[in-house]
A = this chain, B = another copy of it.
Amino acid sequence: MGNGARNGIKTVGLAPNLSSGFYGQDIISVRQFTRENLQYIFAIADEMRAVVKRVGSTDLLKGHVLACVFYEPSTRTSSSFIAAMSRLGGSVIPINEVRYSSVTKGESLPDTIRTLESYADVIVLRHPEVGASQVAAEYARKPIINAGDGVGEHPTQALLDLYTIQSELGTVDGLHVAMVGDLRYGRTVHSLARLLCQYDVQMTFVSPEVLRMPLDVLNEVKAHKRDVEETYDVHDVIASADVLYVTRVQRERFADQAQYDSVKDFYVITSELMGQAKERMIVMHPLPRVSEISYAIDNDPRAAYFRQMENGMYIRMALLAAVLGKA
């Protein structure tokens, strides 16, 4: 759905901000969200969590159909959306093999989307190319939810990250959020940093030189007059961080092994390191992890990454209900 008219009526243009409500809208970018929008979705997510904990599911979207279209596999994200739709009482068309099908016969993305929207009420799209969701939204009459478009955006991930911070710590304002690891290629940290600009937070970006946060994100944070610093070593932030958002540092990003070996220990979260952290703080990770967080801290109550996964389902339930006008 290309635009911001209310009542689910489409007009043409870039994905708009959501000031006139979510019904019938596309969810393409974190840039669409005001602080007010975020609190609205988080409040619905809170309700969704309460329903799931109490009775498992609702019939809110009974009779509605979601087409879950993944041009590249992502078990985590697709499972989360399927679970979300199921717990709302709706049905899912899982499409995981677009690559084998019409697309290989040369079909364009708009044609695929226009076909699928003739069957479904809402479309979740994962695509390897930046901007694919925006293109889909321009052609579709039904709402499109971006589930990741290449190195572009993954707005539902950013929302669940922010929601986790608020759920776990009760607030976002006043926190010190440290992002650790690969900040250059990590889509999640870019989107989260942008979202955090709407809050009164202090950010520290912790990464090796070759994996520093891109300048455009850094400048956007500064433009919002947020307190931001950069450092190479997680030890610089461990004692003061309220949120330690960890991402994977891949060996392949380094020119040689020696360079990698010289920095890798700066970015591994161990029990010893956690000994220096606050008692009330959280460790987050978008998963999958490899070795950047020691398994030994999984049972530390500050390890929030599995709760973060669960929050993803509540956020997606909230978004699905909202764009279908049932929130």
Which positions in A face B, CB cutoff 8 Å? 55-58, 62-65, 67, 73-76, 79-80, 82-83, 86-87, 89, 91, 93-98, 100-102, 105-107, 110-112, 114-116, 118-121, 287-290, 295, 306-307, 309-310, 312-313
A101: chain B residues at CB < 8 Å are 73-76
CB <8 Å contact, B97 and A93: no
CB <8 Å contact, B79 and A93: yes
CB <8 Å contact, B118 and A306: yes
What is the bound-complex CA distance between A289 and B121, given in angstroms?
23
> Which chain B residue has the least Cβ–Cβ distance from A82?
B93
> Which chain B residue has the least Cβ–Cβ distance from A248?
B105
A56: chain B residues at CB < 8 Å are 63-65, 121
- Say yes or no: A86-B91 contact (C-beta < 8 A), given A111-B288, A111-B289: yes
A91: chain B residues at CB < 8 Å are 83, 86-87
Q: How many chain copies does the complex carry?
A: 3
CB <8 Å contact, B79 and A114: no
- Chosen A-B contacts, 19 in total, with CB atoms closer than 8 Å, are A56-B63, A57-B64, A57-B65, A65-B86, A67-B79, A73-B97, A73-B100, A75-B97, A75-B101, A83-B120, A87-B91, A102-B288, A107-B290, A115-B306, A118-B306, A118-B307, A118-B309, A118-B313, A119-B309
A79: chain B residues at CB < 8 Å are 67, 93, 95, 115-116, 119
What is the bound-complex CA distance between A67 and B309, given in angstroms?
15
CB <8 Å contact, B121 and A102: no
A98: chain B residues at CB < 8 Å are 75
CB <8 Å contact, A57 and B62: yes
A74: chain B residues at CB < 8 Å are 101
A110: chain B residues at CB < 8 Å are 295
A57: chain B residues at CB < 8 Å are 62-65
**What distance in Å separates the Cβ of A51 from its nearest Cβ neighbour in chain B?**
9
**What distance in Å separates the Cβ of A195 from its nearest Cβ neighbour in chain B?**
22
A115: chain B residues at CB < 8 Å are 76, 79, 287, 306, 309
What is the bound-complex CA distance between A87 and B119, given in angstroms?
9
A67: chain B residues at CB < 8 Å are 79, 83
CB <8 Å contact, A313 and B119: yes
CB <8 Å contact, B290 and A106: yes
What is the bound-complex CA distance between A264 and B13, given in angstroms?
35
A106: chain B residues at CB < 8 Å are 288, 290
User: Of B62, B87, B114, B287, which is within 8 A of A102 by CB?
Assistant: B287
Known: A56-B64, A67-B79, A75-B97. 20 other contacts (CB 8 A): A56-B121, A57-B62, A65-B83, A73-B97, A75-B101, A75-B112, A76-B101, A76-B102, A76-B115, A79-B93, A79-B95, A87-B91, A94-B94, A107-B288, A107-B290, A114-B309, A115-B306, A118-B307, A118-B309, A118-B310
